[in-house]
Structure 1
Amino acid sequence: MLQELSIQNLALIENLTLNFKNGFSTLTGETGAGKSILLDALGLALGERADSALVRHNTARADVSALFDLEQLPHVQDWLIEQELDDDRQCYLRRTVTSEGRSKAYINGRPIPASQLKSIGNLLIDIHGQHEHQSLLSGHQQLTLLDAYANHPKLLDSSKNYFKHWQGLKHKLDHLLSDQADFHSKLELLQFQHNEFEETAPLPGEFAELSEEQSKLSHASEIKQACQNAYEAIEGERGASDQLNQAIHELESIIDFSPALESSLKQLNSALIEAQEAASEIQSQAESVEIDPLYLQTIDERLTQLFGLAKKYHIDPEELIEKQQQIEQSLQELEASDQSVDELKTEIEQAWSDYQTAAKALSQSRHKAAKKLAKIVTDGMQQLGMPNGQFEVRLDESATASATGLDKVEFRVTANKGQPLQALAKVASGGELSRISLAIQVATAEVASLPTLIFDEVDVGIGGGIAEVVGQKMRQLGQHKQILSITHLAQVASHGHCHLHISKQTEADQTFTHVMELDENGRIEELARMMGGLKITEQTRNHAQEMLKVAQQKTT
């Protein structure tokens, strides 16, 4: 329930705090006094688009906040807990808008995106606008209203989810079939490439090993000769070994006289051992090198084969193994695609069957609700001055599937006895359409889960005894919901449990909007103003007093 609305620097409102009560509250005032501003303010708090034009002239920022009691709204409390925005069964929404158009939003003091205000606002308040009857001509809106009346969100969700699953599988199949458009040419190319790699049969690390072997065989003579020369330089006559031995002999002969040379002697002995080991390795390497022109030719041919395949695919020879794996994987996927198509078609058939089952259950619920809604709206039309009015909700199977099922809906009416039911847009005059819209809104409001309903001048074009009935219906709704109605009709305003008056005043070249709750005398005066002309007579006041007395005695 909406408990409080606070507004600062919004349009004509400088600083205003409104406290709202349970039941049916009416808001009245002269045209242009600022009634629409209150709805604009509430819309901001509920996440509607922010407009810098709403910021009061010569102020930097507008600030709007709304306080809601969630005692009877456990699902809203659950939403806040899920979003980590809960605050002890209360919900405090706040929105600021700067004169430059920047906007900030808060829930229970925590900054959040404006979209979250919109989400929670949809759980708190339903606003029925004065031009809403125009949208009733839309089949989509008619279906939406019927679903709201049927109150079957789980069936709607089920239909939506199955439809999305079926549609997703269809898109996947379309993509797969598109890829298969040149299936045979792709398959032929991949098979050729696969065979080409199979014939060449590159091995991991093969290219590097063969390149090293080729280099070795190509320079076998040079390697042998260099190794022999190196060996002779170490072990040959007057080679490095002989020179080191002589140096060692010379130092050993004087070591007793010069102990400081002990370290140098050890180094020379180590050098001799390392030189001899190196010479042995060099000799072994020289003996292992073979001069084999036939083997070299074989290696050259294999490297040429690997180079040729790599060049054809614009890759380095070292990447041949990776390329071969890619070709094999693509070939496997393409060969398996035929099987994937068959499997997808089976899945699509099952998904369509599941969707049809969900859509059928949804349709059955709609047909059941349609009968009830037709009776209630028919009764409402007759109470609103169309004694021969009849209302019907016609459901037919749609030519195309959608997330909302397989139904298309058409509201059909007749206002005159003996006239056949026809589409709402064809038979209703402006005044009739307004009354039919009100009957539908009242009917759907009775089953709405939202605790607060706002009617914004939905009684335009209605007067006399019909307006009296409208007031009674609003009061009746107020027995179990919080109802706020902006109205120009005294007959409606007199039925309110509470009456708020909106006025516009000019002070020091500034214009301000004020709102105050009227006491009994104030209500009589306001009702008299709404009924009278330029001058309010005592007779008009007496009429207003009697109207208020009778309306407040109503128990419906």
Structure 2
Amino acid sequence: MLQALTIQNLALISRLHLEFDRGFTTLTGETGAGKSILLDALGLTLGNRADATLVRHGTDKADVTADFDIAAVPAAQAWLNQQELEADGDCLLRRTLSKEGRSKAYINGLPATVAQLKELSALLIDIHGQHQHQSLTQAGEQLALVDAFAQHPPLLADTRETYQAWSKQQQALQRHQENQADLQSRIELLRFQLSEFEKVAPQAEEYAQLSDEQQTLSHAHDIKQALISGYEQLDGEGGASERISAAVSALEAIQSVHAPIEPLLAQLRSVQIDCSEAANDLQHQDHQVTLDPERLAFVDARLGELFALAKKYQIDPESLEARHQQIENELSELTGDGASLEALEAKVAEAWQAYQKAADTLSSSRRKAATRLAKSVTERMQSLGMAKGRFGIQLEVAQTPSPQGQDKATFDVTTNPGQPPQPLSKVASGGELSRISLAIQVASAEVASLPTMIFDEVDVGIGGGIAEVVGRTMQQLGGHRQVLAITHLAQVAACAQTQLSIHKAVKNNVTQTQVCPLDQPQRIEELARMLGGMTLTEQTRKHAEEMLSLAQQSA
């Protein structure tokens, strides 16, 4: 659940820290008070698009942090562990936005991407917007709602994967058919190229190794002279080893009468050993370096051969072996058994059968879910004032297969007795469409697994007793999960366990949005304002008090 939201320098908010309770909470306030700013702020932490105009005037950066309790959300915990962003029951999503438009994202204090914010937030919170009914008329959105209600992600994933496999085989077959005319000439070219590479037979890392060897062979004389000279200076007659030995002997003569010389004598003995070992190493390296003109000539010729082949194919000499393998693989693909038209067609047929099996299983699950969803939405419609309303979901075979399967969903609705069902897109009344949308959202919410839900003025166009039903419905949802609702309806606000008031305040000629929790008397005043407007009467206050009392009794 969402525990807290901290906002700094966003729009009209200088600094704001909000803590949220479990159950049902409403946010109320006059139009323009800043309710949308809170959703914009939360949306930033959820990965929504960052708009530099949101940064408070006169400041350099906006900063928003959302604190979620994920102790009861194993999917979120697993995701964090997979991303190595472990949490101990709490999860912090943070987003900063500069006035230049640059944004940064963090999860549990560690840098993250906006895509990661979106992935994680999808496991934590679900937001239903006031304009959501506009998208409900779209076929794709209708099918997505059925899938969300069915809760069958594994079936969707299986269908998507088998579709992709079938599509890949289809593309391979299409390429084969399109390239058939040029296939033989391509095979001949590849065979010629392969013969050239087999003649040279480049080996992995061969060019680099030969280059190093050429460097040594071409400077062998100079290298040997330097090694011999170094050896003579260390271990030759009158060399460093001989002089150090003489120094050790001279000092050993006074060791018994001059104790302080012992540390220095030990140091000289160590130097004597190091000097001897270094001389041996120089002599060993000298024996390793040989003057071999024939080998040098071979290496030069081989490097020239490799370089010439690389130049012809316009690649680095180090890439010759990889290109050789690439030519072999392509030629094998074009001439092998798997490249024949019959083999490709068989693979396409096999992949199509796997896709159809997955899509059929998905369709079966969708049909069952559609029946349950239609029944639930019908019940909600009738409770929202459409007593004879009925909702139906038609699933038909789509014209073309897709990663989402072979289904096309159509929402049908009847709002009045005697009327035949018609597509939701043809419902004339905006108020009816709004209520149907709310019924669908509530029905979907009842099976959702997300711990937090936000309803953003989804009750627009509803009033009277219907508004009370909406409020009680959200109140019931709050018994199972955290529900936050932005509303203008007193009947809805009265049903909440907690009510937050959003208002503007002017301090030092600066306008700021403020949010504060309301106690019982303050809630009555706020509900009275929502019922009666700017002029409040005792009758309005009594009405508000009675409304609040009745709503809380049913909680």
Structure 1 residue 333, shift from structure 2 partner: 5.6
Q: Give secondary structure in 2 for the equivalent of 1:516.
A: strand
Query: Could you report, residue by residue, the CA deviation over 1:415-451 in whole angstroms, capped at 9, with x for unpaired residues?
Result: 0111111100113410000000000000001111111
1:60 aligns with 2:68: no
Indicate the residue corresponding to 1:538 in structure 2: 538
Output the CA distance in 1 between the equivalents of 2:159 and 2:325: 44
Which secondary structure does the structure 1 equivalent of 2:401 belong to? strand
Structure 1 residues 358, 8: CA separation in 2 closer, same or farther (over 3 Å shift)? same
Distance 1:352-1:527 versus aligned 2 partners, 3 A rule: same
String of CA shifts for 1:291-313, please: whole Å, max 9, x gaps. xxxxxxxxxxxxxxxxxxxxxxx
* C-alpha displacement of 1:113: 1.3
Contact 2:338 2:344 in 1 (8 A): no
* 1:206-251 Cα distance to aligned partner (Å, 9 max, x none): xxxxxxxxxxxxxxxxxxxxxxxxxxxxxxxxxxxxxxxxxxxxxx
Alignment CA distance shift 1:332-1:444 (3 Å): closer
Greater Cα radius of gyration, structure 1 or 2? 1
Cα 1:14/1:349, change in 2 over 3 Å: same
Match of 2:390, as an amino acid? Q
Could you tell me which amino acid in structure 1 is paired with residue 433 of structure 2? L
What's the counterpart of residue 378 of structure 2? 378
3-state SS, counterpart of residue 58 of structure 1 = coil
* 1:410 aligned counterpart, secondary structure: strand
Residue of structure 2 equivalent to 1:345: 345
| Distance (whole Å) between structure 2 residues aligned to residue 333 and residue 440 of structure 1 | 52
Aligned to 1:411: 411
2:153 counterpart residue number: 153
Structure 1 match to 2:447? 447
Deviations 1:271-318 (A, max 9, x none): xxxxxxxxxxxxxxxxxxxxxxxxxxxxxxxxxxxxxxxxxxx99xxx
| 1:444-498 deviation line (CA, Å, top 9, x unaligned) | 0111111100000000000001001000100010000100000000000000010
C-alpha spacing 1:509/1:364, structure 2 compared with 1 (3 Å): same
After TM superposition, the structure 1 = structure 2 runs for residues 15-414 of structure 1, keeping only pairs within 5 Å, are: 15-183=15-183, 334-336=334-336, 339-414=339-414
* Distance in 2 between residues matched to 1:412 and 1:33, nearest whole Å: 38
How far off its partner does 1:173 sit? Answer: 1.7
1:131 and 1:326 map into 2 onto residues whose CA distance is: 54
Which aligned runs of 4 or more in structure 1 are off by greater than 3 angstroms?
Answer: 182-191, 202-205, 322-340
Q: What amino acid is aligned across from residue 415 of structure 1 in structure 2?
A: T
Q: For 1:405, give the aligned amino acid.
A: G
> Is residue 456 from structure 1 mapped to residue 456 from structure 2 by the alignment?
yes
Find the counterpart in structure 2 of residue 492 from structure 1: 492
Deviation at 1:96, TM superposition (A): 0.6
- Please tell me the root mean square deviation across aligned C-alpha atoms, in Å: 2.7
Aligned-pair CA distance for 1:185: 5.8
Q: Deviations over 1:347-386 (max 9, x none)?
A: 1111110110110010000000111111110010110010
Q: Which residue does 2:286 correspond to in 1?
A: none
Residue of structure 2 equivalent to 1:302: none
Deviation string 1:371-416 (CA, Å, 9 cap, x unpaired) is 1111110010110010110000100011100001000000000101
AA paired with 2:435? Answer: R
Give the distance between the partners of 1:447 and 1:329, measured in 2 at CA: 51
For 2:515 and 2:24, locate their aligned partners in 1 and report how far apart those are by CA, in whole Å.
17
Q: Which amino acid counterpart does residue 366 of structure 1 have in structure 2?
A: R
CA displacement at 1:181 relative to structure 2: 2.4
Size of the alignment, in residue pairs?
Answer: 436
SS in 2 for 1:9: strand
Range with greater deviation from structure 2 (450-459 or 110-119): 110-119
Query: In 2, Cα distance between the equivalents of 1:131 and 1:529?
Result: 25
Once residues 98 and 553 of structure 2 are traced to their aligned partners in structure 1, the CA distance between those partners, rounded to angstroms, is 47
The residue number in structure 2 matching 1:477 is: 477
Secondary structure of residue in 2 paired with 1:353: helix
Which residue number in structure 1 is paired with residue 295 of structure 2?
A: none
SS, match of residue 17 in structure 2: strand
Q: Which segments of 5 or more consecutive residues in structure 1 lack a partner in the other structure?
A: 206-313, 316-321
The match for 1:430 is 430
SS at match of 2:340: helix
Amino acid at match of 2:421: L
SS in 1 for 2:179: helix
CA distance in 2, matches of 1:37, 1:190: 63
CA distance in 1, matches of 2:329, 2:65: 61
Q: Give 1:342 deviation, angstroms.
A: 2.1
Q: Is the 8 A contact 2:337 2:343 kept in 1?
A: no
Identity in percent:
58
Q: Cα 1:357–1:548, aligned 2, differ >3 Å: closer, same or farther?
A: same
TM-score (norm 1): 0.74
